[in-house]
């Protein structure tokens, strides 16, 4: 029986459909237990070597060349999500290992949390909740989302869904992306500007770009200096997009009003000084963690594995060249 090793924390934990599809497809599903976490490269290599899986369903765990080489039978790595910056796709391709992700499955969920974070920051919802429960009656003066200029960095699937939701509030929307979406310009009347202009003019800035070497610490000291002192930053994409040390300094000195962070450069962010700041709203990488998104993710992951091993075409494979007969 083929083995699927699951390192993702959420696959099959709350929604049974993915595990059911794999089991019916003849796969033995094995979850990595909480006692083996946190998982770094060495731990992942050890587990893969021990379990010798045919496929891996991973979360943010490092899938490096060392990890890929730890199994004699590994044929596929399936990302339980979209971002694959932690997966060495080139090394996988060289070894003839298929890599796939689940685009679109969590788009609505991440967009929803992004809007929720904007409202929480602008209306000081978390602070009001805490002070009221503590017996105080402190009224925090907030701002209306519809009167704000929102800067959306990255207008792919999730960025576009955030823009769509913002239409209901009437916000002015600025956007930055290396590729401009004509549909968004015509349908939602957004304005593409330079990154420098977006940073300078926006009241709220939200990140929706992939993690690559070109985007690592894209929001650093220089970029933070361009932002208004009253501006807020939201990151539901990847922690590595932001220079966290620089962000801490700006937030601590109130040179940036606030930040909502669902992702961190190291997760969990134990010991991060950002967690000590009152103007930081921190959540544990839950933007995509809804029942609906989890069901879509689990189903897509399971069906992609079953179809790939059955030699059926899948549009979400990132290195389809490995499936060609001439591939070594």
Residues annotated catalytic, as ranges: 238, 267, 285
> Can you say how many angstroms the Cα of residue 75 is from the centroid of all Cα atoms in its chain?
25
Phi, psi of 103, deg, nearest 5? -65, 140
What residue ranges in 127-271 does DSSP mark as E strands? Answer: 149-153, 172-176, 191-192, 204-207, 232-235, 258-261
Alpha helix (H) residue ranges in 58-194: 65-68, 89-94, 107-123, 125-133, 157-166, 182-188
Contact criterion met (CB below 8 Å) for 297 and 288? yes
Sorted by sequence, the CB contacts under 8 Å of residue 248 that are 6+ apart come out as 273, 274, 277
Torsion of CA 56, 62, 67, 72, to 10 degrees: 10
**Which strand (E) or helix (H) includes residue 6?**
strand 2-6
C-alpha span between 52 and 80 (Å, rounded) = 19
Q: What are phi and psi of 61, to 5 degrees?
A: -65, 145
Peptide bond into 38 cis (omega under 30): yes
Count of CB atoms situated within 10 Å of the CB of 165: 16
Helix 107-123 / helix 291-309 crossing angle, nearest 10 deg: 150
Label residue 123 exposed, middle or buried (CB < 10 Å: 0-12, 13-18, 19+): middle
Running DSSP on this structure, what letter comes out for residue 141?
Answer: P
């Amino acid at each position: 029986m083929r083995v699927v090793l699951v390192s993702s924390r959420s696959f099959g934990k709350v929604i049974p459909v993915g595990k059911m599809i794999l089991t019916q497809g003849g796969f033995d599903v094995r979850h990595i237990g909480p006692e083996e976490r946190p998982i770094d490269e060495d731990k992942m290599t050890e587990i893969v070597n021990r379990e010798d899986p045919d496929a891996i369903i991973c979360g943010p765990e490092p899938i490096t060349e060392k990890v890929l080489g730890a199994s004699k039978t590994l044929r596929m790595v399936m990302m339980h999500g979209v971002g694959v910056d932690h997966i060495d796709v080139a090394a996988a391709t060289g070894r003839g290992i298929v890599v796939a992700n689940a685009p679109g499955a969590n788009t609505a969920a991440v967009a929803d949390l992004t809007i929720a974070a904007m409202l929480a920051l602008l209306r000081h919802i978390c602070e009001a909740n805490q002070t009221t429960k503590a017996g105080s009656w402190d009224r925090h003066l907030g701002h209306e989302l519809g009167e704000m200029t929102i800067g959306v960095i990255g207008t792919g699937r999730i960025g576009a869904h955030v823009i769509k939701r913002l239409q209901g509030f009437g916000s002015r929307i600025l956007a930055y992306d290396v590729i401009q979406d004509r549909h968004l310009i015509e349908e939602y009347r957004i304005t593409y500007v330079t990154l420098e202009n977006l940073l300078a003019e926006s009241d709220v800035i939200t990140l929706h770009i992939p993690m690559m070497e070109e985007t690592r610490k894209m929001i650093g000291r220089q970029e933070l200096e361009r932002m208004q002192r009253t501006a807020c930053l939201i990151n539901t994409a990847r922690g590595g997009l932001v220079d966290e040390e620089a962000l801490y300094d700006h937030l601590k000195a109130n040179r940036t009003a606030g930040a909502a962070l669902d992702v961190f450069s190291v997760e969990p962010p134990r010991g991060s000084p950002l967690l000590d700041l009152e103007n930081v709203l921190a959540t544990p990488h839950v933007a995509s963690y809804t029942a609906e998104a989890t069901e879509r993710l689990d189903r897509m992951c399971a069906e992609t594995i079953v179809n790939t091993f059955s030699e059926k075409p899948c549009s979400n494979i990132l290195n389809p060249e490995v499936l060609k007969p001439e591939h070594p």
